[in-house]
Amino acid sequence: MALKNHQPLDPAYLEKLQDYYAEHKVIPSYSVLATLWGISAKSWVSECVRRFEEAGFLDWTPDRQLKPGARFFERRLAHDTVQAGLPNPALADGYDLVTIDDYLIRVPSKTSLVRVKGESMIDAGIHDGDLIVVEQQPNANVGEIVVAIVDNEFTVKYLDREKGTFVLKPANKAFPVIRPRGRLEIFGVMAGLVRSTR
């Protein structure tokens, strides 16, 4: 058979696995891996899995089920200095950071997302349509950006204090300071920000 040696080694395999995982959130069985990689021998799949395991991209659960390894989610945090001559700077040495979720979310059960409406916090780099990562908690410190509930609506503002009472200050001179009539109801404090631009 005139099959060419078309597989450029391991990286292509890993990418296909990562894309599969991105779609299904699961590591497939060896036979599915075989078709995914264009291989028709489970023995060779076994060998490749062993190598990925050695490299830290795959791992096993205590019950000996295949699972993503520590480096599997590794998304290159590209370094600011690029070594000359490298065709792809992002593939240079050194990696960091796992998933973005882990980067932003410390307590999943207390974290939710709030979509920003309006330009009142634009000077803090918070734009209309951005998602605020909120850690829910009933109180906050002055100076923190909080998500408060005012008139049954979420509001993102700086928390400040004026003459003994809390006020909400926007980061935009065109907007007024909010001085709640009754008790200020705090939903949580901002822990991060997410913006999609595509």
Partner DNA sequence: TAAATTACAGAACGATCGTTCTGGTGTCAA
Partner DNA sequence: TTGACACCAGAACGATCGTTCTGTAATTTA
Burial 123-150 (b: 16+ CB within 10 A, else e): ebebeeebbbbbbeeeebeeeebbbbee
Q: d(Cα 98, Cα 94) in Å, to the nearest integer?
A: 13
The active-site residue out of 109, 120, 169, 196 is 120
Smallest separation, CB 164 to a second copy (Å): 27
Asked if residue 42 binds a second copy (CB under 8 A), the reply is no
Binding at 44: pick from a second copy, DNA, none (beta carbon under 5-8 Å per type): DNA
Asked if residue 36 binds DNA (CB under 7 A), the reply is no
Are residues 147 and 188 in contact, defined by beta-carbon separation less than 8 angstroms? yes
- The enclosing H or E element of 34 equals helix 30-37
Question: Which listed residue (42, 44, 53, 127) binds a second copy by CB under 8 A?
Answer: 127
Nearer to DNA, 12 or 100 (CB): 12
Q: How many residues does the chain have?
A: 198
Binding at 40: pick from DNA, a second copy, none (beta carbon under 5-8 Å per type): DNA
Paired residues of 47 in beta bridges = none
Task: Fill in the per-residue mask, 138 to 177: x = in contact with a second copy (CB under 8 A), - = not in contact.
Answer: -------x---x--xxx-----------------------
Q: Clarify whether 120 is annotated catalytic.
A: yes
Cα-Cα end-to-end distance for the chain: 45
Choose among 194, 190, 105: nearest CA to 154: 190
Question: Which listed residue (41, 55, 97, 177) binds a second copy by CB under 8 A?
Answer: 97
The encoded tokens of residue 88 equal: 């792809």
Binding at 9: pick from a second copy, DNA, none (beta carbon under 5-8 Å per type): DNA
Residues with catalytic function: 120, 157
Q: Which residues bind DNA (CB under 7 A)?
A: 1-2, 5, 7, 9, 29-32, 39-47, 49, 63, 66
